[in-house]
A and B are shown apart, each in its own frame.
Chain A
């Protein structure tokens, strides 16, 4: 049988069959002959592999010969006569001897796997709690010596997380107000209850959506940035360098970020709230409700404690986003994907944590009658 320029044949000898390969066994011939030759080598009764007639052999062909010899149970391999082909065969045999097939990973039963999973979850929880504890201790230490905080860092992060998010908050807040007012106007008009739209939108925004929208903005912009920056520093051994200089990375790198996230969040939420109310006012104007009436409605129904409750939640969201972002960055491992993974984990973790916390706050405020 002839493929390309290599040929595979069999010959009967006293000891058994001999598989004869001849011609040019290059990578393309090897590609088309590979499975066929290994199948022929596995058939019982083979006593030798004859490669004397090869006129060319590259490393793919050489590996094919060696694999065929192994598949046939280590029968004799008569090497090619061409010196360069023999050298290639010897070289690849050397390479394969130096790189034995790694043993397959030990099989893990389903019960063991569940156990390992549970242990992994517990270990992860322990690491999180440890980090939380370290941050708390560092924050307490800082409260005793507030001048130990790096003011420059704090200002930089306030600017990054706050000032630069301002435009986005204005845009998304206005749109949110417009959408809420418009969507609620459709059912409300059926009952002639347009006048209650300001109350509905106002309470929804101030108590819930302002803080939530600000949290999503902060998680996407700054939580991911914290994780990416710290992850890059971790990968570049900058954090190790700080530690060996005797500088604790917690007050130096992490507390300014967490503090900045916590401080900017109420402001961002306030911006979303106010621009949302303006957006709602625009829709009300379109519905023919005068601005004075909208303001009167808001004054009558929306209380300062609604606003304060929302802003308090926003600060807590900021704290959590800051902690999660920094932890994801500090935990980044080695490797090229580490930084990207850390940023993704920070955003996903922050949003999940914020929504879960929002649920807890809803319960808490309800119990407190807030």
Chain B
């Protein structure tokens, strides 16, 4: 395991033996993996196995019960002040429901991170936000309030906001959940384009089989009974070759 000072600059996200407990209950333990620059890394597993919790640990919202979560070589949950702001400006997060601020229109929501982290004048923020919204296909909804958007539009607006500062790592929580297959496939294509064109690294939480196979370079699978990772690797090879029953059931859509 790399020491603090000698971190490999090509490893953007690293989980080192992360465990999470709520009171007596252990959600998972011994979770370790690395995400390299330019990869689309997928965290998969059934509902309630702790995918969102793991994501929140990675981005420093929850301190893990034990282990370390390194993003861009730093433990986000331990940073304070300027260093924390600097690290946060290099990552982007799309939340499960978009999490746009309800009192601001879509354009202002996307411009918000630039207001916090850069000295861009307002008209510049607006132009950049407009371009990002155009990229995610929301060019005709700039002045809409979040309450006026559908689920898929909210998620796309959430991606546009996460993209506002050209982050090096983008964390997405269930981009496809609750969307129709066409919209969901559109989101997958957007993620692939962004990864290929701008070299952004993605950490995607999802349980959508189609999207795992379409976008995932590598994946880890969490399991609730096993309280941790039960399989990792290329999702297409896992589907073909893995003979762990839970993994087979997941990839063949069988009831457990």
Identify the A interface with B (CB < 8 A).
Answer: 27-28, 30-32, 34-35, 58-60, 62-64, 66-67, 84, 87-88, 91-92, 94-102, 333-338
Neighbouring B residues of A27 by C-beta, 8 Å: 114, 118, 120, 165-166
Is B120 in contact with A99, judged by CB distance below 8 angstroms?
no
Q: A335 near B124 (CB under 8 angstroms)?
A: no
CB pair B131–A95 under 8 Å, yes or no, is yes
- Interface pairs A-B: 5 shortest CB-CB: A335-B147, A99-B139, A99-B134, A98-B134, A95-B134
> Could you write out 28 A-B pairs with CB less than 8 Å apart?
A27-B165, A27-B166, A28-B119, A30-B120, A31-B118, A31-B121, A35-B121, A59-B128, A59-B198, A60-B114, A60-B120, A60-B124, A62-B131, A63-B124, A63-B131, A67-B124, A95-B130, A95-B133, A95-B134, A98-B135, A98-B137, A99-B130, A99-B140, A99-B142, A102-B142, A335-B146, A337-B102, A337-B103
Binding site secondary structure of chain A: helix
How far apart are A99's CB and chain B's nearest CB, in angstroms?
A: 3
CB distance from A323 to the nearest CB of B (A): 27
* B120 adjacent to A102 (CB under 8 Å): no
With A27-B118, A28-B118, A94-B135: A101-B198 Cβ-Cβ less than 8 Å? no
Sample of 6 further A-B pairs with CB below 8 A, known A31-B120, A60-B124, A67-B127: A27-B166, A34-B120, A95-B133, A95-B134, A334-B147, A334-B148
Q: Which residue of B lies closest to A67 (CB)?
A: B127
Contacts of A30 in B (CB 8 A): 120, 124
Q: Which residues of B contact A92 (CB under 8 A)?
A: 131, 135
A336-B102 in contact (CB<8A): yes
Of B120, B133, B163, B199, most A-chain CB atoms within 10 Å: B120
B197 on the A face (CB < 8 A)? yes
Nearest-neighbour CB distance to chain A for B51, whole angstroms, equals 25
Question: Given the interface contacts A60-B120, A63-B124, does A336 sit within 8 Å of B131 by beta carbon?
Answer: no
A96 near B118 with CB under 8 A, answer no
- Smallest CB-CB separation from B139: which chain A residue? A99
* Contacts between chains A and B (CB distance < 8 A), count: 94
CB distance from B140 to the nearest CB of A (A): 8
Q: Give Cα A348–Cα B21 distance, bound, in whole angstroms.
A: 45
Q: Which of B119, B121, B131, B199 contacts A99 (CB 8 A)?
A: B131
Name the residue on B nearest A87 (C-beta): B197
How long is the Cα–Cα vector from A91 to B200 in the complex, in angstroms?
14
Closest CB-CB distance, A34 to chain B, in whole Å? 5
Report whether B119 and A32 are in contact in the complex, using a CB–CB cutoff of 8 Å. yes
CA distance A62 to B132 in the complex (A): 12
A129 to B139, CA, bound (A): 41
B98 to A: closest C-beta gap in Å = 11
| Minimum distance in angstroms from A114 CB to a CB of chain B | 25
Residues in A whose Cβ lies below 8 Å from that of B238: none
Q: Are A335 and B102 in contact (CB under 8 A)?
A: yes
**Distance from B159 Cβ to chain A, minimum over Cβ atoms (Å):** 12
The CA of A336 and the CA of B127, in the complex, are separated in Å by: 27
Bound together, the chains give a CA A35 to CA B127 distance in angstroms of 13
Q: Are A31 and B119 in contact (CB under 8 A)?
A: yes
Contact with A along B86-97 (1 / 0, CB 8 A): 000000000000
Q: Are A98 and B139 in contact (CB under 8 A)?
A: yes
Closest to B197 in A: A87
Closest chain A CB from B156 CB (angstroms):
12
Residue contact B127 to A63, C-beta cutoff 8 Å: yes
CB proximity of B120 to chain A, nearest CB, Å: 4
**B77: interface (CB < 8 Å):** no
B145 at the interface (CB under 8 A from A): yes
Interface centre among A63, A94, A99 (most CB of B within 10 A): A99
Q: Whole-angstrom distance between the alpha carbons of A359 and B230 in the complex?
A: 73
Closest to A35 in B: B121
How distant is the Cα of A35 from the Cα of B132 in the complex, in angstroms? 20
**Docked pose: A32 CA to B131 CA in angstroms:** 20
Bound CA span A32–B120, Å: 7
Residues of A within 8 A of B120 (CB): 27, 30-31, 34, 60
Q: Please give me the residue from chain B that is nearest to A334 by CB atom.
A: B147
The complex places the Cα of A34 from the Cα of B114 at a distance, in Å, of 14
A93 to B, closest residue via Cβ: B131
Partner of A335, one of B123, B132, B142, B145: B145
B93 → A minimal CB distance (Å): 18
Give complex CA distance A354, B170 in Å. Answer: 54
Q: Which of B114, B119, B128, B198 contacts A91 (CB 8 A)?
A: B198
Contacting residues, chain B, for A336 (C-beta < 8 A) = 102, 146-147
A64 to B123 Cα, complex, angstroms: 11
Cβ of B143 within 8 Å of any chain A Cβ, yes or no, is yes
B177 within 8 A of A: no
Minimum distance in angstroms from B157 CB to a CB of chain A: 12
B138 is an interface residue with CB less than 8 A from chain A: yes
Q: How far is the CA of A32 from the CA of B124 in the complex (A)?
A: 11
Among B137, B140, B166, B199, point to the contact of A60 (Cβ < 8 A). Answer: B166
A60:B102 contact, CB within 8 angstroms: no
Contact of A60 with B134 in the complex, beta carbons under 8 Å: no
Q: How far is the CA of A98 from the CA of B197 in the complex (A)?
A: 18
Which of B134, B143, B146, B147 neighbours the largest number of chain A CB atoms within 10 Å of its CB? B134
CB contacts under 8 Å to A, within B194-212, are 197-199
